[in-house]
A = this chain, B = another copy of it.
């Protein structure tokens, strides 16, 4: 990993040579070789309808945070242990990438001890998360998943025992949930924790191959501890799943402890700097106190009390799912920065147009731009609420248990709906860069790989929550939160046709929400009736026969609530100079959602053809309008070039020399490679008459 300075210099010289010989080409040029990109971007920036700095303040929530982020980026760019060293990130071996990531972690933890301003501490972690997805995931595993298992499920004594060590990284924790044979289906997992009354210990055991804990971040090479979710066996009886802290490696030597077998998961589609691993436990003994005992508990006398509600054991899934909104912002904002800037710089066609001016181009990218803003705003709303709910775990168990179901429902629905669309946005970005996205040096391919870890279904769970709460509402119980509209389902369904007259109606938030409320209530009651008629015995089959429609229902429901939270969020910025731009993006997202489900409104006769055409037309106009602010909207995310690592997305728009320079710097030599002499030379020089 250390740069070989001779070859690095040679490469640099080669690059400079390539760049400096360009001007002399000009003489023969039939096209002007002066780059048009910088002027294009300058013009786009001059025409911005708002001040970029104002928007950045909204995205980062205040001037102080903006300053902290700017300083954090500077710290990264200058610190030799934080910044990526010689050679391109994508040309590192897996071992080098692992080392680099751990070096960055160690340095960040060192820095955190020195930094007194908590804002800057946070900014440094955020900035590093934009810089490296492997870093981000390592931090996330230890500081979110491992730590939250202690804060959500541990007693205050247990928190006293563990939290200080976790915060100082005197332990490195991982999160052993997934198993080889059972992924998200937690009830079916096989690892057991069996209480041994003779010694007051839990015996952790992996009974089968499929019970191997799988994909566990940092289990491959680095974690010293894990929280493992296990079936809890007491006196031969299974009391369901609970969380146990199990030491994995000796912190002095890094060697695996007896009974623990753990290894590396090997090559993945991305995030090679993170050591995903697998773990098998063979009769590993841990003290009684290593069970997380806030909800379930085992007294020193051997008295076991199960959790009041099994759903509590899955509560870590909620912040895990909500992370999708933050993680998606990091990945999508970078991809869109690259694709939008490239679209504004690249010229093609009969009149050498900026390709971003093509309708199919801006309609594929601009809803994505609005989407990342919506993710930012909605994420903040959700996190504010979740922190409140998570706080109840310490202060008000009753409130905690009351709030958990809606948090489950919302997080599952959002994970499904938002990750699907995010994947589409990434694919749009990839295509918007043409062939150049195929080069690893333009980052998008890597970002798509990184995103892969975030996309698994969730829509089905959200539909279950909807159907259940609808039943409650039909029975006269008041339902709360994301499903509160079900309380009035009868009134909602008393109309059967939209009152839409003019496309301007679609600019009103409440109007759009009413359309989506109708569609969601309509589908929910239709499904509810079918499932009720199927009865208890026929339920699972009826569910499966209607699963496609149930997922569609969850999608409509989730987007509806997403739009509501967005509006709620931007209302907090009503008096800022960028409110108008935020509102426009919300309007575009609304039309986008309507267009996404046009077939449903048409099919149910709620819309007719003229309504559909109104929606489509408005969508095109809104995209075209927002396209004018494309570059400032992207600039406001303030992602420095060295973080982006994508020459075609450079801030100054002078992309080709940078791209060419990156590619030539990666070239080792211009000589024929050894294999050429071995395999190409004999073919090329075979005699023509040779019939061998």
Could you tell me which A residues sit within 8 Å of B by CB distance?
18, 22, 25-26, 28-31, 33, 88, 90-91, 93-95, 98-99, 102-103, 105-106, 109, 113, 164, 168-172, 178, 180-185, 188, 190, 192, 205-212, 214-215, 221-222, 224, 231, 238, 249, 251-256, 261-270, 278, 348-352, 357-360, 363, 423, 427, 430-431, 434-435, 437-441, 445-446, 448-449, 452-453, 455-457, 460, 540, 544-548, 551, 598-599, 602-605, 608-609, 612-613, 620, 656-657, 659-660, 662-664, 666-667, 670-686, 688, 691-692
- Whether A238 and B172, one on each chain, are in contact in the complex, defined by CB atoms closer than 8 angstroms, is no
Q: Which of B164, B249, B266, B666 contacts A663 (CB 8 A)?
A: B266
Q: Which of B26, B102, B350, B440 contacts A540 (CB 8 A)?
A: B350
Q: Which of B180, B363, B657 contacts A656 (CB 8 A)?
A: B180
Give complex CA distance A460, B609 in Å: 25
The chain B residue sitting closest to A269, CB to CB, is B445
Give complex CA distance A602, B270 in Å: 42
Give complex CA distance A662, B350 in Å: 53
- Whether A674 and B99, one on each chain, are in contact in the complex, defined by CB atoms closer than 8 angstroms, is yes
Residues of B within 8 A of A692 (CB): 113
Residues of B within 8 A of A215 (CB): 435, 438
Extra pairs beyond A181-B656, A599-B612 (17, CB < 8 Å):
A25-B209, A28-B207, A29-B208, A88-B267, A170-B685, A180-B659, A180-B660, A182-B348, A252-B681, A268-B445, A269-B449, A359-B544, A359-B545, A423-B427, A602-B609, A604-B609, A605-B608
Known A254-B680, A544-B357, A612-B599; contact A99-B264, beta-carbon cutoff 8 A: no
Distance in Å: Cβ of A663 to nearest Cβ of chain B: 5
* Copies per assembly: 2
The chain B residue sitting closest to A250, CB to CB, is B672
Distance in Å: Cβ of A554 to nearest Cβ of chain B: 11
Distance in Å: Cβ of A262 to nearest Cβ of chain B: 8
Q: Which of B438, B548, B598 contacts A359 (CB 8 A)?
A: B548
- Whether B684 and A434, one on each chain, are in contact in the complex, defined by CB atoms closer than 8 angstroms, is no
The chain B residue sitting closest to A544, CB to CB, is B359
Distance in Å: Cβ of A534 to nearest Cβ of chain B: 14
Distance in Å: Cβ of A410 to nearest Cβ of chain B: 20
Give complex CA distance A577, B446 in Å: 46
Known A266-B666, A547-B358; contact A169-B683, beta-carbon cutoff 8 A: yes
Residues of B within 8 A of A598 (CB): 599, 603
Residues of B within 8 A of A672 (CB): 221, 249, 253-255
Distance in Å: Cβ of A236 to nearest Cβ of chain B: 11
Question: What are the 7 A-B residue pairs with the smallest beta carbon separation, nearest first?
Answer: A254-B672, A269-B445, A99-B675, A267-B440, A602-B602, A359-B547, A266-B666
Give complex CA distance A181, B346 in Å: 8
Residues of B within 8 A of A178 (CB): 435
Give complex CA distance A352, B455 in Å: 23
- Whether A269 and B603, one on each chain, are in contact in the complex, defined by CB atoms closer than 8 angstroms, is no
The chain B residue sitting closest to A181, CB to CB, is B656
Residue pairs across A and B with Cβ atoms less than 8 A apart, 5 shown, are A170-B688, A172-B680, A264-B666, A269-B439, A423-B427
Residues of B within 8 A of A103 (CB): 675, 678-679
The chain B residue sitting closest to A191, CB to CB, is B30
- Whether B445 and A620, one on each chain, are in contact in the complex, defined by CB atoms closer than 8 angstroms, is no
- Whether A267 and B605, one on each chain, are in contact in the complex, defined by CB atoms closer than 8 angstroms, is no
Distance in Å: Cβ of A137 to nearest Cβ of chain B: 12
Give complex CA distance A455, B427 in Å: 10
Give complex CA distance A613, B552 in Å: 14
- Whether A684 and B172, one on each chain, are in contact in the complex, defined by CB atoms closer than 8 angstroms, is yes
- Whether A548 and B440, one on each chain, are in contact in the complex, defined by CB atoms closer than 8 angstroms, is no
- Whether B22 and A208, one on each chain, are in contact in the complex, defined by CB atoms closer than 8 angstroms, is yes
Known A360-B547, A656-B210, A663-B278; contact A266-B678, beta-carbon cutoff 8 A: no
Q: Which of B185, B441, B656 contacts A266 (CB 8 A)?
A: B441
Known A435-B178, A445-B452, A675-B102; contact A667-B266, beta-carbon cutoff 8 A: yes
Known A169-B683, A602-B602, A673-B95; contact A430-B452, beta-carbon cutoff 8 A: yes
Residues of B within 8 A of A612 (CB): 599, 602-603
Give complex CA distance A238, B28 in Å: 13
- Whether A266 and B439, one on each chain, are in contact in the complex, defined by CB atoms closer than 8 angstroms, is yes
Q: Which of B455, B457, B605, B663 contacts A609 (CB 8 A)?
A: B605
Distance in Å: Cβ of A251 to nearest Cβ of chain B: 4
Give complex CA distance A431, B420 in Å: 11
Give complex CA distance A283, B490 in Å: 79
- Whether B188 and A348, one on each chain, are in contact in the complex, defined by CB atoms closer than 8 angstroms, is yes
Give complex CA distance A663, B266 in Å: 6
Residues of B within 8 A of A263 (CB): 663-664, 667, 670
- Whether B609 and A106, one on each chain, are in contact in the complex, defined by CB atoms closer than 8 angstroms, is no
Residues of B within 8 A of A437 (CB): 269, 452
Give complex CA distance A64, B363 in Å: 50
Residues of B within 8 A of A663 (CB): 263-266, 278
- Whether A168 and B445, one on each chain, are in contact in the complex, defined by CB atoms closer than 8 angstroms, is no
